[in-house]
Amino acid sequence: MTAPEIPRPIPGARLLFSLDPSVSHLNHGSFGALPISVQRAQQRLRDEVEANPLRFYGSGLMDRIVHTRRHLAAFLGADPDGSALVPNTTAAVSLILQSVGLRAADEVLLTDHAYGAVTMAVRRQCRRSGATARTVAVPLGAAAADVTARIRAALRPGRTRLLVVDQVASATAALFPVREIVAAAREHDIPVLVDAAHVPGMLPVDVSAIGADFWVGNLHKWGWAPRGTALLTVAPAWRRRIDPLVVSWEHDEGFPLSVEFQGTIDYTSWLAAPAGVFALRTLGLEAVREHNVALAAYGQRVVGEALGLAPADLPGPGGPGVSMRVVPLPAGLASTPPEALELRLRIADKLAAEVAVNAWGGRGLLRLSAQIYNRPEDYHLLAERLPALIREMRR
């Protein structure tokens, strides 16, 4: 095997975070990690709230929310007037499902890469409305044109009321050609919800150019924003039909304010989110992305090799820019969700490494993230220790 190129670290980057140095943090994708500067920005806002809660909530809060939304929408190439700050992708998905008005003869089409909680939300809304949820299979490592063709072939004009696709999938780290998929669905007037939970900060994105009816991305993963910060963009034709999950004082203002204001909650995550974008820009978005993409590929090769996998056995992301890679686990290992959870916890406890493990298509997939605080040694250490742990578990 040719030795994979070792990406050069960004000097000092590790010190920007407060992560426990005794652990290899190889799962930025699940819950992110906050630079210290962003933690401080949020703490300053909390201090401001506690100095005078009446003043914080009662004077100028909506203006600050709108200002923040404009900032984040500009970062993502989204229409600021057609976007709303929401707590997370999970909340946005339920909001959209509630708003599209599913009826008994309708179906919602998902792929088999969809995030588990998204699939659950679709199933619940289908149960309530009498609609059907249908899944189209997309093989791991399929080429972009093949992915689009499979989804196009699965659309049922007149029946499919909503298509839900990931931009970067969770369990498989696959990149979906969402622009082409949206164009294919548009030919039949089928609305598309793009689950872009991993996209802000990870990929350069122009949300308006994707043209989806609904697009939602978390800022709190790769955008280094405090948890509880996501942006939902809604196409003009749908904005009046958005039916907020929580009704509060801005309800009659319509989208986006009707969605954003939810009474007395903690808005400091949203207001501190631009500090995450600022930190990314200060280091250089391109430099961060290049580092992360190269290190994820490197980590996949090193860990894959330790498990006896050749480069050809390691699925690529299906396109450029993804800072997560999966390593297929030996057959029969972590092939169900409880087994996947058990393996993840064992790796955390015994190997001091945080990774994602998912059961996907009857196969266990180990997902490795790369962020600027990671070093090649993090993956070397896991590669050295994982085979013995797997042998022990199989005994």
Ligand X SMILES: Cc1ncc(COP(=O)(O)O)c(C=O)c1O
CB of 171 to ligand X, least distance (A): 8
Q: Which of 106, 166, 250, 378 binds ligand X (CB under 6 A)?
A: 166
For ligand X, the closer of residues 259 and 307 by Cβ is 259
Bridge partners, residue 218, by sequence: 230
In the complex with ligand X, the residue whose CB is nearer, 56 or 215, is 215
Give how many residues touch ligand X by CB under 6 A.
Answer: 13
Q: Is-cis flag, bond preceding 256, omega within 30?
A: yes
Cβ(113)–Cβ(172) under 8 Å? yes
Residues 6+ apart with CB under 8 A from 98: 125, 243, 245
**The one segment of 62-70, 124-132, 192-200, 267-275 that binds ligand X by CB under 6 A:** 192-200
The nearest distance, CB 264 to ligand X, in angstroms, is 21
Residue 131 neighbours by CB under 8 Å, 6+ apart: 102, 103, 104, 105, 106, 107, 108, 125, 161
- What is the closest distance, in whole angstroms, from the C-beta atom of residue 157 to ligand X in the complex? 26
Contact 114, 133 (CB under 8 A): no
Give the shortest CB-55-to-ligand X separation in angstroms.
30
- Piece in contact with ligand X (CB under 6 A), picked from 40-48, 136-144, 166-174, 294-302: 166-174
Of 162-170, 204-212, 276-284, 330-338, the window that binds ligand X (rule: CB under 6 A) is: 162-170
Tell me the C-alpha distance between 118 and 120, whole Å. 5
Contact between 261 and ligand X (CB under 6 A)?
no
155/46 Cα distance (integer angstroms): 47
Considering only 17, 115, 214, 379, the residue that binds ligand X (CB under 6 A) is 115
Token pair for residue 58? 């009662």
CA dihedral 93, 114, 180, 160 (to 10 degrees): -70
State the CB neighbour count (10 A cutoff) for residue 395: 5
Residues 21-60 that bind ligand X (CB under 6 A): 30
Query: CA 211, CA 225: separation in Å to the nearest integer?
Result: 25
Using alpha carbons only, how large is the chain's radius of gyration in Å?
21
Residue 3: CB minimum distance to ligand X, A: 31
* Shortest reach from residue 68's CB to ligand X, in Å: 18
- Per the CB < 8 A criterion, the answer to whether 359 and 30 are in contact is no
Q: Select from 63-71, 84-92, 175-183, 326-334 the region that touches ligand X (CB under 6 A).
A: 84-92
Q: How far is the CB of 195 from ligand X (least distance, A)?
A: 5
- What is the Cα–Cα distance from 124 to 97, expressed in whole angstroms? 9
Out of 83, 125, 172, 218, point to the residue binding ligand X (CB under 6 A): 218
Selection from 127, 67, 203, 116 nearest residue 135 by Cα: 116
Task: Provide the minimum distance between the beta carbon of 228 and ligand X in the complex, in angstroms, as a whole number.
Answer: 8
Enumerate the H helices of the chain as residue ranges: 28-31, 36-51, 53-58, 61-76, 89-99, 116-129, 144-154, 178-186, 207-210, 236-239, 257-260, 268-283, 285-306, 337-351, 376-394
Q: Which stretch binds ligand X (CB under 6 A): 74-82, 164-172, 275-283, 291-299?
A: 164-172
Residue 241 beta carbon to ligand X: minimum distance, rounded to whole angstroms:
22
Instruction: Give the shortest CB-288-to-ligand X separation in angstroms.
Output: 19
- Binding to ligand X by CB under 6 A, coded x per residue (else -) over 86-105, reads --xxx---------------
Our CB check for ligand X shows the closer of 106 and 166 to be 166
Q: For residues 170 and 269, which CB has a smaller minimum distance to ligand X in the complex?
A: 170
Decide: 277 and 223 in contact? Cβ < 8 Å.
yes
Q: The tokens 């997939």 sit on which residue?
A: 365
Among 86, 197, 277, 359, binds ligand X (CB under 6 A): 197
68 or 88: CB nearest ligand X: 88
Nearer to ligand X, 172 or 374 (CB): 172
For residue 237, give the nearest of 260, 257, 213, 272 by alpha carbon: 213
- What residues between 198 and 217 interact with ligand X by CB under 6 A? 198
Contact residues toward ligand X (CB under 6 A) are 30, 88-90, 115, 118, 166, 169-170, 195, 197-198, 218
